[in-house]
Amino acid sequence: MTAQGAPVRRQGPPVGEGTLKDLSHPGRRASSFALLEVPDAPVPEELRRARLPSLPEVSEIDLIRHFTRLSQMNYGVDTGFYPLGSCTMKHNPKAAEEVAALPGFRRLHPLQPDSAVQGALELMWRLERALCEITGMARATLQPPAGACGEMTGLLIMRAFHADRGRARPKVIIPDSAHGTNPASVRLAGFEAVPVPSDPRGLVDVSALAGLVDEDVAGLMLTNPNTLGLFEMEIEEIARIVHAAGGLGYYDGANLNAILGRCRPGDMGFDIVHINTHKTFATPHGGGGPGAGPVGVVDALVPYLPTPTVERADDGSLFLERDRPRSIGRLHGFHGNFGVIVRAYAYVLLHGADGLREVSELAALNANYLAELVKEDFPLAYPDGRPMHEFVATARRLKEETGVRAMDVAKRLIDLGFHPPTVYFPLVVEEAVMVEPTETETRETLDAFAMALRQAAAEARTQPDLLHEAPVTTPVRRLDEARAARHMRLHW
Ligand SMILES: *Cc1c(COP(=O)(O)O)cnc(C)c1O
C-alpha cells in the first residue's frame, strides 16, 4: 500500500489482547524447579505479607506468546516512519549499538578506580571535547540523562552564577512558542517564567524582549531553531540584549541536528547549551529514556558544572575531580547513562566533521521537501519563513471546510501505516501539524508519507466520519487522550 506497507497484521486473536489475568488458570506455572536438596528455610515472620498478592498463573508458552503479540502491536522507528515533530525519531546506526555492547564498556562497574577505567574516561573526555567544538563552549558535563534534566542543570548553573555575584535574580524569559519542558524546568529551578511573544514571522519579538529585560532577569531560555522550525534571524541581537542587562543566554540545543556543523551557539553569544544526544546523535530514546542531555558552558560558568568532572593529570592519565566547591552538585548517579554516551561518541566518529554537516543539510532538505509536497492541504503556519529540520503546518482550513481536525488526520495516518506527526504543538498555532522527517529517510518514504497525508485530506472531504472514527484497523481503537492523565489509577 505504501513504502512502509500496511500496518503489520499479527498472528493470533484479531482484537483485544487482554491482560495476563485473562489467561490465568489456577495451578499453572511458567517454570518448574527441581526439588530442593537442602532444608527449607522459611521466610522470617516479620518479612511475610499478611495477604498474598494475587498473581496471574500462566504457562510459559502462553506467557511468551502474550508478550510477543504485544511487542508486535508496537510501532517503532525500526518498523516504520516516525515523523513526530520536535522528537527527532531518527534511525540509530547499528554500528553504534555494537560499540556500546563491547565488553570493555558493557562490563564496567561505576565503582572501579580511575586507574582501571582509563578507556572510559578517555571516551568521556573526547566526547566532551567534541561537544565543546560543536557548540562553541569551554567545558561540558555528560551527566544529565535527558534534555529536560540538561535544562535543569543549566538553570541551576545560572542561579549559582548570580548567587555568587550576590544578587538572586528571580526571572527567566522564555518565548511563547517554547518547548513545554522549558517553563517546567524554569519553575523547578526556582525561577519565575516570563513569556516573550512571537512576532508575525513566528520569531522572538525583539522589541518586546528589550522591554522585558531588567536587573531581575537571570537569563533567557531560547530554542533555536525554535519550535516552529524557524531560525531566529536576530539571534545575536537577542543575546546582546540579555547580556546588556547582566543576564545569561541559555540555548536549548535539543534541535542541534538542524545546525550541526554550520553554526555554533557559543558564536551566537550564548553561555549555556544543552544537547539531546538522543535527537542529534541518534542514540535510542527508549521508553522516555534513557537518553543523555549533556550541557556545555562558557569559561565563566565552568566552576558550577556538576561534579565530578573528568580531568587530565600532568602525566597524561585521566581522573575524576570531585573536589569542586562551587559545583551545583550531582544530577545523576555516577556519570549519567554511560552506554548512551558511548553511542553518541561512536556517532560523532562515524560521521566526522563533514558527515555531521551533512546531517543538518539533509535534515533541512527533507523537511522542506515534505512541506512542499503537502502544502496545498496543510499550509505552513508561518508561510514566510523557511523551515529548517521540521515544519509546522496547520489543518485550520481543512477543519473549517470539513469539520475534520488535525487529531482526526493524525489518527487516520495510523490506518495508512504511519506514526502520526505531533499535533496541537506548538500552542501558538491553531490545528498544528508538526512534522520532523529527519535526515535518515529515503525520498520514497517521504513521498509515501506525503501521499498518505493527502489521502487523509481527500477522505476528509468525501467521508469525514471515517476520519472522526479513525483508527479503524488497529487492535485498540481511538483512545481518550486526556483520561489517563486526568483520572489516574495508580498501582504499585
Ligand atoms: C525534546 C526537547 C526537549 C526535552 O528533551 P527530553 O530529552 O525529552 O527531556 C527540550 N527542548 C526541546 C526544544 C526539545 O525538542
Kindly report, residue by residue over 22-66, the tens digit of the pLDDT.
999 999 998 888 888 999 888 899 998 888 888 999 999 999 999
Query: What is the DSSP annotation of 84-141?
Result: BTTT------HHHHHHHTSHHHHT--TTS-GGG-HHHHHHHHHHHHHHHHHHT-SEEE
Ligand 1 midpoint to CA 428 (Å): 18
pLDDT-derived band of residue 14, with 50, 70 and 90 as boundaries? very low
Q: Which CATH architecture has domain 353-486?
A: Alpha-Beta Complex (3.90)
**What are the domain boundaries of the chain?**
94-350, 353-486
Pocket test for ligand 1, best of 86, 143, 257, 436 (most atoms within 8 A of CB): 86
Ligand 1: residues whose CB is within 6 Å? 86, 146-148, 179, 181, 223, 252, 254-255, 276, 291, 293
Beta strand residue intervals within 322-467, DSSP E: 391-394, 422-423, 432-435
Burial of residue 113 (CB within 10 Å: 0-12, 13-18, 19+) is exposed
pTM given for the model: 0.90
Among 86, 181, 223, 425, say which to mutate for ligand 1: greatest number of ligand atoms within 8 Å of CB.
Answer: 181
Averaged over 394-416, what is the pLDDT? 98
Protein fold of 94-350: Aspartate Aminotransferase; domain 2 (3.40.640)
Q: Which atom of ligand 1 is nearest to the CA of 223?
A: 13
Tell me the pLDDT of the chain averaged across its residues: 93
Nearest-CA residue for ligand 1 atom 6 is 147
Question: For ligand 1, atom 5, which residue shows the shortest CA distance?
Answer: 147
Distance of CA 469 to the CA centre of its chain: 30
Expressed in angstroms and rounded, the spacing between residue 130 Cα and the centre of ligand 1 is 21
The residue nearest atom 4 of ligand 1, judged by CA position, is 147
Give yes or no for a contact between 177 and 224, defined as CB atoms under 8 angstroms apart. Answer: no
| CA angle, residues 397, 438, 271, in degrees to nearest 5 | 100
State the number of CA atoms in the 13 A half-sphere of 430 facing the CB.
5
CA distance 370 to 351: 25
Read off the pLDDT band of 139 (50, 70, 90).
very high
Any idea what DSSP says for residue 463? -
Distance CA 451, CA 455 (A): 6
Distances (CA, A) of 9 to 272, 415, 492: 47, 12, 33
Pocket probe for ligand 1: among 259, 276, 388, the residue whose CB has the most ligand atoms within 8 Å is 276
The closest-lying atom of ligand 1 relative to the alpha carbon of residue 149 is: 9
Mean pLDDT of 156-182: 95
pLDDT tens sequence across 241-252:
999 999 999 999
Residue 1 has pLDDT above 90, yes or no: no
- Asked whether the predicted pLDDT for residue 383 surpasses 70, the reply is yes
Question: CA of 75: how far to CAs of 70, 283, 356, in Å?
Answer: 11, 17, 28
Banded model confidence at residue 324, pLDDT cuts 50, 70, 90 = very high
**Residue 298 CA to its chain's centroid (Å):** 24
Cα–Cα distance, 117 to 142 (Å, whole number): 16
Q: How far is CA 427 from CA 178, 391, 400, 432, 447, in A?
A: 9, 14, 19, 8, 28
Distance from the alpha carbon of residue 418 to the mean position of ligand 1, in angstroms: 22
User: Is the bond preceding 290 in cis, omega lying within 30 degrees of 0?
Assistant: yes
Separation CA 85–CA 421 (nearest Å): 6
Contacts of 411 (CB under 8 A, 6+ apart): 420, 467, 470, 471, 478
Which residue, by CA, sits nearest to atom 12 of ligand 1? Answer: 254
Give 5 Cα–ligand 1 centroid separation in angstroms: 30
SS (H, E, C) 128-158: HHHHHHHHCCCEEECCCCCHHHHHHHHHHHH
Q: Name the β-bridge partners of 34.
A: none
Say if residue 360 is exposed, middle or buried (CB neighbours under 10 Å; 0-12, 13-18, 19+): buried
